[in-house]
């Protein structure tokens, strides 16, 4: 058998698509893989640190109109990072659908669709499965934790995302007025040899602007909180 | 280098603290109580060393890619999965909830008990009548 060069090699995510000669409609892994390979992400835009970027000002996301930095990242004076990502979801995806995804992203296979290259594994805490998929109401993931293994920043890290209720950060009574259709937020923890530690706050907000859904993601990286010790020295 | 230095100072100071105040030992496996670890972890020095620019850029890039991938398959997956789950649900439960499209007689004379995209809602708005002999 002859050696296969890297150009000829087929990525494992695309095997079925190559055999079929096309990407099947329900081959979500291949579709996501194709979308990922076609995407070109440049360097994050730089911006000066400003007070509204602090985590305690997260509620300002409800103010109509775009914030001065919707897509980029800034190191704040206290050492934390403000990371902002804006995604145009178009007219095909709405807030209900976005919320639904978090209730149905179960198991490694579906988690890999989200990022076919960097996602290794991901699953919910056992209590999450107490309700059948069709019986999980909106916001069901709140107070559940999603344990993942991902390749980020050049190394594989184990995360634990613990979802929280939006009312902890926002005045939910103003959602309709602000055109907000979904908010998914939580605390991102990292699992390391020394134990479990919170390292970031994450907020996903979907709102309707000119008939299109836009997803605004904010990550406040650096707010440290050790939750559990793992029997180490520290 | 700065990280190694910080680690050495951190370990030395925590050991000294334990020797000075034995009550700081909160359980059998730890030297420092959580509040002390969290104070040190939230210091500016710790934030700058533990969260380098490479990690922040990695997270930003990862999130951009994640949401782009999600956009590529979510509408189709949502449609297919909701239909699949609905079909799996017991017939009586769907009828009781009023979520069933209702049964009815199709153009081919066959009585359909479940949703059929060919015939749409044949049982009225959310209504369901149990067919004879079912």
Q: Is A49 on the interface with B (CB under 8 A)?
A: no
Separation of alpha carbons A51 and B107, rounded Å: 66
Q: Which residues of A touch B30 (CB under 8 A)?
A: 229, 232-234
Q: What is the pLDDT of residue A7?
A: 62
Q: Which residues of B touch A26 (CB under 8 A)?
A: 76, 80
Query: What is the pLDDT at residue B112?
Result: 47
**CATH assignment of the domain containing A167:** 3.30.530
- Gyration radius from chain B CA atoms: 31
Per the CB < 8 Å rule, is A83 touching B56?
A: yes
CB-based contact, A222 to chain B, within 8 Å: yes
Given a contact cutoff of 8 angstroms between Cβ atoms, the answer to whether A53 and A28 are in contact is no
Using alpha carbons, select from A94, A102, A105 the residue that is nearest to residue A214. A94
Contacts of B17 in chain A (CB under 8 A): none
Q: What is the pLDDT of residue A106?
A: 94
pLDDT of residue B124: 41
Instruction: Suggest the residue from A72, A137, A226, A230 to mutate for an interface test with chain B (most B CBs closer than 10 A).
Output: A226
A154: closest chain B residue by CA: B58
Residue A16 and residue A60 in one domain: no
Question: Cα–Cα distance between B16 and B18 in angstroms, integer?
Answer: 5
Residues A2 and A52 in one domain: no
Task: Determine the Cα–Cα distance for residues A33 and A22; give it in Å rounded to an integer.
Answer: 13
Tell the residue number behind the tokens 């079925």, with chain if given. A16
Model pLDDT, residue A166 = 95
Q: Which residues of B are less than 8 Å from A95 in CB distance?
A: none
In a shared domain, residues B106 and B65: no
Restricting to B residues 44-73, those with a Cβ less than 8 Å away from any Cβ of A are: 44, 46-48, 50-51, 53-73
Give residue A217's pLDDT: 97
Same domain, yes or no: A35 and A144: no
| Domain ranges, residue A81 | 45-229
Residue of A nearest to B83 (CA): A134
Binary contact (B41, A225; C-beta < 8 A): yes
Task: Name which of A200, A199, A157, A206 is nearest A184 in CA terms.
Answer: A206
Which two structure tokens, joined as six digits, stand for A209? Answer: 């602007």
Nearest-CA distance B77 → chain A (Å) = 7
Residues B70-124: tens digit of each pLDDT = 999 999 999 999 988 888 877 666 666 665 544 444 444 544 454 444 444 444 4
pLDDT (0 to 100) of residue A230: 57
Tell me which residue range forms the domain holding B100. Answer: 90-121
The torsion angles phi and psi of B109, rounded to 5 degrees, stand at 80, 0
Count the domains in chain B: 3
Read off the tokens for B74.
Answer: 């979510």
| Contact yes or no for A161/A148 (Cβ under 8 A) | yes
Asked if residue A152 and residue A122 are part of one domain, the reply reads: yes
Give me the torsion for CA of A11, A13, A15, A20, rounded to 10°. Answer: -130
* A213 and A153 within one domain: yes
- Which of B26, B17, B39, B5 lies closest to A229 in space, CA to CA? B26
β-pair partners for A218:
A84, A203
Nearest-neighbour CA in chain A from B23: distance (Å): 15
Helix, strand, or coil here: A56?
A: helix
Q: Does A229 touch chain B (CB under 8 A)?
A: yes
**By the CB < 8 Å criterion, does A131 face chain B?**
no
Confirm whether A93 is domain-assigned.
yes
For residue B48, pLDDT beyond 70: yes
- Please give the residue that has the higher pLDDT: either B1 or B128: B1
* Same domain membership, residue A56 and residue A114: yes
Helices H / strands E in chain B, number of each: 5, 2
Give tens-digit pLDDT for A149-185.
999 878 899 999 999 999 999 999 999 999 999 999 9
Domain membership flag for residue B94: yes
Same-domain pairing of A10 and A61 = no
Predicted confidence at residue A188, as pLDDT, reads: 96
Q: Do residues A123 and A54 both lie within one domain?
A: yes
**At a CB cut-off of 8 Å and minimum separation 6, what does B109 contact?**
none
Mind telling me how many Å the CA of B132 is from chain A's nearest CA?
A: 28
Given an 8 Å threshold on Cβ–Cβ distance, is A153 in contact with B54?
Answer: yes
User: Splitting chain A (234 residues) into consecutive groups of 10 residues, what average pLDDT does each group show?
Assistant: 59 80 86 92 87 92 92 93 95 94 94 94 94 91 95 89 95 94 95 84 96 96 81 50
B34 touches chain A (CB under 8 A): yes
Q: Among all residues of chain A, which has the CA nearest to that of B73?
A: A28
Find, among A112, A115, A121, the residue nearest to A148 by Cα. Answer: A121
Closest listed residue to residue A200, CA positions, set A173, A164, A170, A175 = A164
d(CA A23, CA A163) in angstroms, rounded, equals 34
Whole-model pTM?
0.79
**Are residues B67 and A85, on separate chains, in Cβ contact within 8 Å?**
yes
DSSP summary character for residue A52: G
**Quick one: pLDDT at residue A5?**
57
Contact B38 A226 (CB under 8 A): yes
Using left for φ > 0, alpha for ψ between -120 and 50, and beta otherwise, residue B81 falls in alpha
Within a domain: B104:
yes
């Amino acid at each position: 058998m002859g050696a296969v060069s890297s150009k000829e090699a087929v990525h494992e995510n695309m095997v079925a698509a190559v055999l079929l000669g096309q990407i099947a409609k329900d081959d979500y892994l291949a579709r996501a893989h194709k979308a990922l390979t076609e995407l070109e992400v440049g360097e994050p835009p730089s911006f000066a640190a400003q007070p509204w970027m602090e985590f305690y000002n997260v509620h300002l996301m409800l103010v109509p109109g775009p914030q001065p930095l919707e897509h980029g990242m800034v190191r704040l004076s206290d050492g934390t990072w403000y990371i902002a990502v804006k995604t145009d979801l178009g007219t095909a995806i709405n807030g209900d659908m976005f919320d639904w995804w978090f209730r149905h992203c179960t198991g490694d296979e579906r988690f890999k669709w989200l990022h076919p290259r960097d996602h290794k594994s991901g699953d919910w805490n056992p209590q999450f499965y107490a309700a059948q998929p069709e019986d999980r109401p909106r916001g069901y993931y709140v107070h559940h934790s999603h344990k993942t293994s991902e390749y980020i920043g050049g190394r594989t890290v184990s995360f634990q995302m613990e979802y929280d209720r939006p009312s902890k950060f926002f005045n939910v009574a103003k959602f309709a007025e602000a055109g907000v259709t979904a908010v998914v937020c939580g605390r991102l923890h990292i699992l390391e040899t020394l134990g479990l530690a919170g390292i970031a706050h994450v907020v996903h907000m979907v709102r309707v602007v000119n008939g299109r859904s836009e997803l605004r993601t904010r990550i406040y990286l650096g707010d440290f909180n050790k939750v559990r010790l793992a029997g180490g020295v520290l | 280098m700065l990280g190694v230095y910080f680690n050495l100072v951190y370990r030395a100071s925590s050991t000294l603290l334990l020797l000075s105040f034995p009550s700081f030992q909160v359980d059998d496996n730890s030297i420092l109580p959580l509040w002390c670890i969290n104070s040190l972890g939230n210091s500016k020095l710790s934030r700058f060393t533990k969260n380098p620019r490479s990690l922040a850029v990695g997270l930003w890039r990862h999130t951009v890619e994640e949401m782009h991938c999600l956009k590529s398959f979510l509408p189709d997956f949502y449609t297919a999965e909701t239909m699949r789950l609905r079909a799996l649900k017991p017939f009586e439960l769907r009828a009781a909830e009023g979520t069933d499209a209702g049964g009815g007689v199709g153009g081919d004379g066959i009585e359909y008990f479940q949703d059929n995209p060919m015939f749409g809602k044949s049982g009225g708005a959310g209504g369901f009548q149990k067919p004879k002999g079912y």
